[in-house]
Structure 1
Amino acid sequence: MARMISLLITLLLFIFNLLLWPDIAAGTALTYNVAAHEKACFYAWVDKAYEKVGFYFAVQSGGSFDIDYVVTDPRNKVVINGNRERQGDFIFTANYIGEYSFCFSNDMSTFAEKLVDFEITIENEPRAELPPSKGVTPEQTNNMEESLIRLSGSLSTIARAQKYFRTRENRNFSTVKSTENRIFWFALLESALIVGMAALQVFVVRTFFSTTKRGHV
C-alpha cells in the first residue's frame, strides 16, 4: 500500500513539473480566416538550434478548400512550401536560433475567404528532472516517465485524428450544402420553364383560334 502511495506521489510530482516547465513542449493552436488576396503570417521563436518544430494546418471552409503556404527560417530561406494544398502535417528540424515565419496566402481566390485551422509546436530536447522520492527506484521513475510519454503521444494522435475527422465533416457538409443549393436552383428553373411553356402554349392556342375566327369572318 505504501509503495502504491509513493508511486502516486511521484506521478503527481511529475505532472506538476510538466506544468512548471512549459518549455518542454510549447504549442499554439489557432483558427484564422484568410481573406481573398490576403497573406497572413504567424511567427514562432526557437531558442535552441536543432529543435523539432511541428506545423499542422487544415482548410475548414472556403472555395476549393485549398491554400498556399510557406515556412521560412530566420535567414529568410524557405523550409517548406506548397501551393493549393488542403492540409498538411510536417515536422522539421530548426537549424538556426531565431524567429520562424509561417505564412498562408489566398491570392488564387477572387472573393472566397478560407478558414484555416493550424498548430505550431516547438519541442525541446531537455526534460524536467523529478525530485528524489523515498521508496521509489530510478527504474520505476524511468518506466513511469516513459509510460507518460507514450500516453502523451497517444493523446496527440487522438487529437490529430479528431482534427482530421472535423475537417472531413466540414468539407462533406460544404459539399452537401452546395448540392442542395444546386438542386434548389435547378428545381426553380425547371418550374419556371414549365410555367413558361404552359403560358406559351396558351398564347399559341389563343392566337390560332383568333386567326381562325378572322379567316371565317
Structure 2
Amino acid sequence: MEKVWLLVAVAASVLARAAAVELTFELPDNAKECFYEEIEKGTECTLEYQVVTGGHYDVDVLVEGPARQILYREIKQQYGQFQFTPDHTGTYQVCFSNEFSTFSHKLIYVDFQVGDEPQLPGVGEHFTAMTQMESSSQKVHENLNSIIDYQTHHRLQEAQSRKRAEDLNERVLFWAVGETLGILVIAVGQVMILKNFFADKKSNQAAY
C-alpha cells in the first residue's frame, strides 16, 4: 500500500455509532489505495469524493462489504457521492484505483461520514425540551458545520483552478520559447542565404 500524504485535513473521531474521516491524498500512477472502516449494522454512511488534480481528473472507485460484496463501483469518475446503510456489521473498504493511468498522478479528496454527528455536550442529554439557549447553540453548531463544508469545496475548486492555470501557463511558456527559437533559426538562415548569395555574385564578377 502506498504512503498517504495528507494535504488538507484529517479529522477522525470514533464514538459509539459515529465516525468521520476527511482527507486529501496523492494517488500515484498504476496504483491502488484502500481505506477500511469498522461499521455496525444499520449505521447510515455517506461517501463523497472528488479528483482535484491530475490527468483527466478521473479515478475508479469501489466500495465493498465484509463478504467482499460490491456495494458501489464507478469507472473513471471525477466526483461522486454514495449513501448506504449496511445490513451486516463488519469491516467495509473503500478503494480508489489509478491503475489505468501510466504517468498521471491524482490528488483525491475523500469525505467518509459514518453515523450521525454527535450532539453538543449537554444538549440532548435530558428528556425535557431544549431551552432557547440550547436551541441557539445547536443552530450555531449546524451553521458552522455548513460553513466548513462550503469552505472545503471552495478550497477544492481553488486548487483545481490553480492547477489548470499553472498547466496553461506552462504550455504558453513552452509555446513562446518554441516560437522564439523558430524565429531565431529563420533569421539566422535568412542571413546565411543572403550572405551566400552576395558571395556568389562577387565570385562571378571576379571571374569576368
Deviation at residue 25 of structure 1 after TM alignment? 2.4
2:186 pairs with one of 181, 197, 200: 197
CA shift in 2, pair 1:71/1:145, >3 Å: farther
> More helix per residue: 1 or 2?
1
Query: What is residue 46 of structure 2 aligned with on the other side?
Result: 54
Indicate yes or no: 2:30 matched with 1:40.
Answer: no
Change (3 A) 1:43 1:169: same
- Indicate which of 129, 133, 155 corresponds to 2:144: 155
Counterparts of 1:156 and 1:89, CA distance in 2? 18
Q: Distance in 2 between matches of 1:140 and 1:131?
A: 8
Q: Is the 8 A contact 1:59 1:167 kept in 2?
A: no
Assess if the C-alpha contact under 8 Å between 2:124 and 2:130 holds in 1. no
Task: Pick closer, same or farther for the CA change 1:167–1:27 going to 2, 3 Å.
Answer: same
* 2:130 corresponding residue in structure 1: 140
1:213 deviates by 1.5
What corresponds to 1:176 in structure 2? Answer: 165
Greater relative contact order structure (CA < 8 Å, 6+ sep): 1
2:18, 2:117 within 8 Å by CA — same for their partners in 1?
Answer: no
In 2, the alpha carbon distance for the partners of 1:28 and 1:126 equals 15
Structure 1 Cα separation of the partners of residues 166 and 117 of structure 2: 46
Give yes or no for the alignment of 1:22 onto 2:15. Answer: yes
CA contact (8 A) 1:24 1:125 kept: no
Q: Residues 76-135 of structure 1: CA distance to partner in whole angstroms, max 9, x if unpaired?
A: 111112122222232211121101100000012111211222122211599896257xxx
- For residue 37 of structure 1, report the CA deviation from its aligned partner: 0.8
> Which residue of structure 2 lines up, in the alignment, with residue 113 of structure 1?
105
Taking the aligned partners of 1:84 and 1:40, their CA distance within structure 2 comes to 15
Larger radius of gyration: 1
Q: In 2, are the aligned partners of 1:33 and 1:113 still within 8 Å (CA)?
A: yes
Unaligned runs of 5+ in 1: 1-20, 133-137
Pairwise CA RMSD = 2.5
| CA apart distance, 1:24 | 4.5
Describe how 1:53-132 pairs up with structure 2 within 5 A.
53-123=45-115, 130-131=125-126
Answer yes or no: is the 8 Å Cα contact 1:23–1:124 preserved in 2: no
Identical amino acids, percent of aligned pairs: 27
After superposition, the Cα gap between the structure-2 partners of 1:124 and 1:198, relative to the gap in structure 1 and judged at 3 Å, is: closer
Amino acid at match of 2:129: E
Amino acid at match of 1:178: D
TM-score normalized by the length of structure 2? 0.80
How many Å separate the matches in 1 of 2:117 and 2:107? Answer: 33
Number of corresponding residues: 190
